[in-house]
Amino acid sequence: MSVGVVVFPGSNCDRDVRWALEGCLGLPTTFLWHEQNDLAGVDAVVIPGGFSYGDYLRCGAIARFAPVLEAVQRFAAAGGPVLGICNGFQVLTELGLLPGALTRNAGLHFICEPTELEVRPGRCRWLQGYGDGVSIHLPIAHGEGRYQCDREALEQLEANGQVVLRYAANPNGSVGDVAGLCNEAGNVLGLMPHPERACEALTGGLDGLPLLASLKQNP
């Protein structure tokens, strides 16, 4: 199992993700530059946090047209595991791999703090290491994390079991307390919290580890 971490101009969690995957879990990890057309044979893709293309226009709006993401779309359609964290989640919604959109936090502030989340793994291949309904703590760090979709879409997502991560105390005004969403097939996960920042006891706890470790248990 090798993992590719997509790097855009403005990505800033790419090295943290690689540290979590390779340093903490021993998974060979390579960077995938936004201009490349292929995924260099990796078995899973992570789109990390940051401010791709300076967040110009809208978060993720320019990144969505990066050549590497055409390959990611084909990879996801074929069932390959794809994870979008924070800005990566925003990119996945702009790309249409996940529904809805992420908008300015209701309180207008950038929020950087630990949050409590409820996990509902369902079919999500990334969350099989957590029990159904367990509570975990992961840090968030975003200014535009308020998940938005219309009521009908939200009901559909709930009915399909795609709302796999929910805030216990909604920090940003997201509809349905949505913190993370999975696609119907279960291979694509997008979330605003940062699991890669919770993979070591010394720096933020270990609650993010089972998410990334799912790549080892469930190749």
Partner 1 sequence: MLDPAGEATRAAAARLGVEGVRKLRIGKAIELELEAPDRDTAQRQLELLSDRLLANPVIENWSLEIREPAGGERS
C-alpha of 173 from chain center: 18
Beta bridge partners of 143: none
| Active-site residue (options: 94, 182, 194, 199) | 194
Q: How far apart are CA 99 and CA 96, in angstroms?
A: 6
The distance in angstroms from the start CA to the end CA of the chain is 7
* Shortest Cβ 153–partner 1 spacing (Å): 9
109 annotated active-site = no
142 annotated active-site = no
* Shortest Cβ 101–partner 1 spacing (Å): 4
Number of helices (H) and strands (E), helices first, in the chain?
5, 11
Tokens encoding 207: 């609650």
Helices (H), 23-79: 67-77
| Active-site residue (options: 13, 86, 124, 182) | 86
Q: Is the dihedral of CA 5, 61, 93, 109 positive or negative?
A: positive
86 annotated active-site = yes
Residues that bind partner 1 (CB under 8 A): 57-58, 61, 65, 93-94, 99-101, 103-108, 146, 148-149, 173
Beta strand residue intervals within the chain, DSSP E = 3-7, 29-33, 44-47, 82-85, 101-103, 111-119, 135-142, 146-148, 163-167, 178-182, 188-191
84: three-class secondary structure by DSSP: strand
User: 42 near 3, Cβ under 8 Å?
Assistant: yes
| Active-site annotation, residues | 86, 194, 196
